[in-house]
Structure 1
Amino acid sequence: MKYRLLRETGQKVSEVGFGLWTLSTGWWGEYTEKQALDFLHRAFDLGINFFDTADVYGYGYGEELLGKAFGGESSGVVVATKVGYDFSGSSRGPGQRELPQDFSESFLRRAVESSLRRLRRETIDNLQLHNIRMEHVDDDRIWELLDALRREGKIRSYGIALGPAIGWLYEGIEALRRRRPHVVQHIYNLLEPFPGRPLMDAAPDQNPRFLVRVPHSSGLLEGRYTAETTFPKGDHRNHRPAHWLPNGLKKVEQLRFLEVPGRTLGQAALQWILCEPRILSCLPNIYALEQLEEFAAAPDSPPLTRSELDRIEELIAGNFGIEEPQEAYKGTMTWAASA
């Protein structure tokens, strides 16, 4: 494993992190508590020290798992969580409905205290505003509160998560320009490089600050799907557009040249992301132990060559030679809309 520096806290963060989304929401299958804890402990044994969750993941369950696995400040892990959704009165389940948001000071303070209790920690290493909208970028009170929480020792650093779907370009750019969050979490991968690239280009410096989620395009870039692949009821991949799987398979076949001795396609997908120095860590969707072993070894697999990187850029520039419907991006995607 290799590590990058989160400058604001002085902590070294593993280039491959572990997101609790897969273990705590039911959207990627069901796991017993013991299975989930075994995943987390094995990840740590493999050098992963960065764990990313959210209070809404399993309605507190993701944080509870981290608390049981690594409770305490001296565990050697770096913990990030997210707040901003009100899930009070909701039953835990894998539904796709987005819950109401609340970014008031009173709600955020209660959410932080609840997260600390579930995580069994005195301080959260990184607190992210979960799927912010432009109105939250504009609200001075939210950012003043984050600074206050940092002074109080409740958090070490703060940032934003963009989503839930791909898009939200100017929410990220405006936050970077005006608010200077310490981290920004967004979707970025070989098959979905936009709008991640212009977002990262808006960063005020080259310091690692970006957390990349969905680095394998919901599993496509692991190279195991076929035209006959189906997903269980409730699985989030059923909500992808109809063309996502067939077109994705055609693109993946054009990337098979990245599979070389000692490097799988899934590892190459992570290597490509980690070629960008502004990325702090990538968060593959881990839902099997063999996957965990594979992805944790990605930083130490054979690095991509210049010719491989050039070929990738050619494919991306021509969208792999595939005609597709216009992507239905979410959020603010033009300057005119952000005015």
Structure 2
Amino acid sequence: MTLTRLPTRKIGSLTVGAQGLGCLGMAEFYGPTDEQEARRTLARALDLGVSLLDTADVYGHGAGEELLGRAVAGRRDEAVIATKFGVVRPGPGVGSGIRGDAAHVRASCEASLRRLGVDHIDLLYLTRVDPQVGIEETVGALAELVAQGKVREIGLCEAGAATLRRAAAVAPIAVLQSEWSLWSRDLEREIVPVCRELGIAIVPYAPLGRGFLSGAVRSADGLEEGDFRRFGLPRFAPDNLARNLPLADALGALAAELRLTPAQLALAWLHHRGADVVPIPGTRGRGHLEENADAAFLVLSPAELAAVEEAVPAEAVHGARWNEQSMAYIES
């Protein structure tokens, strides 16, 4: 169990723990939710220095922001609140479109401030790039919010290299949040180098492959009712999952040799990608939070890092990381 507070990293002007916490599962998508346990988990996160708390306006149709706001109300100065906007989500499912127009930027920020119960948002992201609106308009509106003191730093999610360059020409972009893990490595060739050229930190979401790399998912049938891995993610479809399981087994065997859990080993691999990388594994409970936090302290040798990549070769992963509708809004 972690007893020492995490080392810190910089995201723009913000100082954050080297590992954050993804709060999606506290609101929906991964089965039944439990607000009391979520609040205890968020409190424990702050105790450990896991200060970057990541949510979005559409998680639980606003319930995720409200929960986070209640949980940190008495410890606001310890929390770095990150939230996202842009997804149009009138009903169930992952959304029906994206809006990045200036009017929506401003309205979304005001709504998030109300739900969170705060006077400023530490980090505000555009969830996906709006293909109908120039990124210059979106970033210009975000920069106005920074000038007004409503937002401290701004970020983009799943943006490509060209978009990052255009955005950074308008205003400083503190961070890119994109999927990055042992089984999602698309951004390494072009996007990561551009981020480093521009001084943009990287926040990997789904760093444990939505539970797959931890060894917790052996069959989609074993997932709880309402878990979106049952229907929305091709890698968890029965045929693909069966072909991917040997990767989880190989990682698990290596972790056992190193006396680590598979989750800790997968997260430690990400931490070794650079000091500008702040993963945000999601969890709903304190046990996994503490297990994951320990990864920020691990030091792997070059040989161990090579063994990790040999256990989970990027080219051996079967299935797309999102369904076709969602992949349409991801810039490569």
Range with bigger deviation, 226-235 or 44-53 = 226-235
Measured against aligned partners, the alpha-carbon deviations of 1:125-153 in whole angstroms (never above 9, x if no partner) come to 111011113444x3422221111111111
Structure 2 residue runs without a partner (length 5+): 1-5
Measured against aligned partners, the alpha-carbon deviations of 1:39-92 in whole angstroms (never above 9, x if no partner) come to 2112212221110111111111111111111137853111111111344xx46x
Q: Which residue of 1 aligns with 2:137?
A: 141
**1:111 pairs with 108, 111, 119, which one?**
108
Equivalent positions of 1:179-258 (< 5 A) are: 179-180=167-168, 181-205=173-197, 207=199, 209-226=201-218, 230-238=222-230, 239-241=232-234, 242=237, 243-255=239-251, 256-258=253-255
Equivalent AA in structure 2 for residue 124 of structure 1: I
**TM-aligned CA deviation for residue 96 of structure 1:** 2.1
TM-score normalised to the size of structure 2? Answer: 0.85
SS at match of 2:278: strand
TM-score normalised to the size of structure 1? Answer: 0.83
Size of the aligned set, in residue pairs, is 315
- Please give the alpha-carbon distance, in whole angstroms, between the structure 2 residues aligned to 1:218 and 1:148: 35
Q: Which residue of 1 aligns with 2:152?
A: 156
Measured against aligned partners, the alpha-carbon deviations of 1:202-225 in whole angstroms (never above 9, x if no partner) come to 224384611101111111111233
Q: Which residue of 2 aligns with 1:271?
A: 268
Decide whether aligned partners of structure 1 residues 228 and 104 sit closer, same or farther in structure 2, where only a CA change above 3 A counts.
closer
Decide whether aligned partners of structure 1 residues 332 and 286 sit closer, same or farther in structure 2, where only a CA change above 3 A counts.
closer
Q: Which residue of 1 aligns with 2:287?
A: 290
Aligned-residue identity in percent: 28
Range with bigger deviation, 267-276 or 68-77 = 68-77
Measured against aligned partners, the alpha-carbon deviations of 1:4-46 in whole angstroms (never above 9, x if no partner) come to 112x32x221122111101012x11222322221121122122
**TM-aligned CA deviation for residue 199 of structure 1:** 1.8
Equivalent AA in structure 1 for residue 212 of structure 2: L
Q: Which residue of 2 aligns with 1:165?
A: none
**TM-aligned CA deviation for residue 275 of structure 1:** 0.8
Decide whether aligned partners of structure 1 residues 192 and 113 sit closer, same or farther in structure 2, where only a CA change above 3 A counts.
same
Q: Is this contact kept in 2: 1:177–1:204, CA < 8 A?
A: no
Q: Which residue of 2 aligns with 1:166?
A: none
Q: Which residue of 2 aligns with 1:101?
A: 98
**TM-aligned CA deviation for residue 198 of structure 1:** 2.9
Structure 1 residue runs without a partner (length 5+): 163-170
Q: Is this contact kept in 2: 1:212–1:279, CA < 8 A?
A: no
- Please give the alpha-carbon distance, in whole angstroms, between the structure 2 residues aligned to 1:273 and 1:229: 29
- Please give the alpha-carbon distance, in whole angstroms, between the structure 2 residues aligned to 1:229 and 1:16: 31
**1:54 pairs with 25, 38, 56, which one?**
56
Q: Is this contact kept in 2: 1:18–1:283, CA < 8 A?
A: yes
Q: Which residue of 2 aligns with 1:172?
A: 160
Range with bigger deviation, 78-87 or 111-120 = 78-87
- Please give the alpha-carbon distance, in whole angstroms, between the structure 1 residues aligned to 2:93 and 2:329: 22
Measured against aligned partners, the alpha-carbon deviations of 1:92-113 in whole angstroms (never above 9, x if no partner) come to xxx3241343323222212111
Measured against aligned partners, the alpha-carbon deviations of 1:255-301 in whole angstroms (never above 9, x if no partner) come to 22133455211001001111112643111121333211101111124
SS at match of 2:81: strand
Q: Which residue of 2 aligns with 1:13?
A: 16
- Please give the alpha-carbon distance, in whole angstroms, between the structure 1 residues aligned to 2:248 and 2:33: 29
Q: Is this contact kept in 1: 2:135–2:167, CA < 8 A?
A: no
Q: Which residue of 1 aligns with 2:307?
A: 311
- Please give the alpha-carbon distance, in whole angstroms, between the structure 1 residues aligned to 2:315 and 2:39: 40
Decide whether aligned partners of structure 1 residues 62 and 326 sit closer, same or farther in structure 2, where only a CA change above 3 A counts.
closer
- Please give the alpha-carbon distance, in whole angstroms, between the structure 2 residues aligned to 1:217 and 1:79: 23
- Please give the alpha-carbon distance, in whole angstroms, between the structure 1 residues aligned to 2:258 and 2:111: 47
SS at match of 2:78: coil
Decide whether aligned partners of structure 1 residues 317 and 280 sit closer, same or farther in structure 2, where only a CA change above 3 A counts.
closer
Decide whether aligned partners of structure 1 residues 270 and 149 sit closer, same or farther in structure 2, where only a CA change above 3 A counts.
same
Measured against aligned partners, the alpha-carbon deviations of 1:150-190 in whole angstroms (never above 9, x if no partner) come to 1111111101122xxxxxxxx42122222122111111111
